[in-house]
Amino acid sequence: MNKIIVLGLLGITSFSLTACGGCPIIAGCNGRDNSPYYMTTINNQVRGIPIPAQTKLTYQSQHFRQKFEQTHALKEKNLSGITLPTDTAIIWGGMPVDMFIQFSNPEMKGFSVYPARGFNTKLSNEFLHLWKSCESDLNINLKNPNDWSFNPENMEIRGCGINQKRSKYTEDSFRQDEADEFLRKINQALHELPKQQDYPVIHRTNK
């Protein structure tokens, strides 16, 4: 009888761990994102970035009832993501981008910025050449986590595609040496650029 009880408890524990640790927090176990969000109705500026109307602002929920679409913008300090309207991008660092996602780890101060697909990019400097070669989002550490503008003095690139900052879990030293060299080059190219002043909004047509 005792064995049956112990096995039952182990089963419940295993289920609980799977439910809590087996799915991303942002999406939940049913694959649906319950995070509160607000669809902007006018052009605005958030975290130093001008954004057009119909941009989706996603927030970290502050209580269990705060989820899904909101009737007004929430506190900017709780912002976790910016998603531009479909077929719309802004020029950020010379690249058309359409999404910014804050790092989920609270100990990491920064965000990932995603190139918009289907837009032409003028590779006018070494920074853009290197970013384009990744075909991926940039992972960026920030000195001031509330400033998501393209401000090289505030930024350090820690990853782009397979090129990620070295960690204690790194096993492939040769590949990591290549990643380290890539990150050295792209950060050097980044810090040769000025702070961006204007953020043109561009649209993609299906023609």
d(CA 31, CA 125): 40
Q: Is residue 17 part of a domain?
A: no
Q: Which residue has the higher pLDDT, 157 or 165?
A: 157
Cβ burial, residue 82 (10 Å; 0-12/13-18/19+): buried
Domain that holds residue 135: 118-200
Identify the residue with better confidence: 33 or 198.
Answer: 198
Higher pLDDT pick, 82 / 205: 82
Q: Quick one: average pLDDT of 84-88?
A: 97
Residue 96 domain-assigned (yes or no)? no
Confidence of residue 107 (pLDDT cuts 50, 70, 90): confident
For residue 50, the model assigns a pLDDT of 96
End-to-end Cα, the chain, rounded Å: 71
Any domain includes 109: no
Domain assignment of residue 18, yes or no: no
Judge whether residue 31 has pLDDT over 60. no
Please tell me the total count of domains within the chain: 1
> Does 58 reside within a domain?
no
- What's residue 66's pLDDT? 76
Reading phi first (left if > 0) and then psi (alpha if -120 to 50, else beta), residue 118 is in left
Judge whether 170 lies within some domain. Answer: yes
The rounded percent of the chain whose pLDDT value lies above 90 is 67
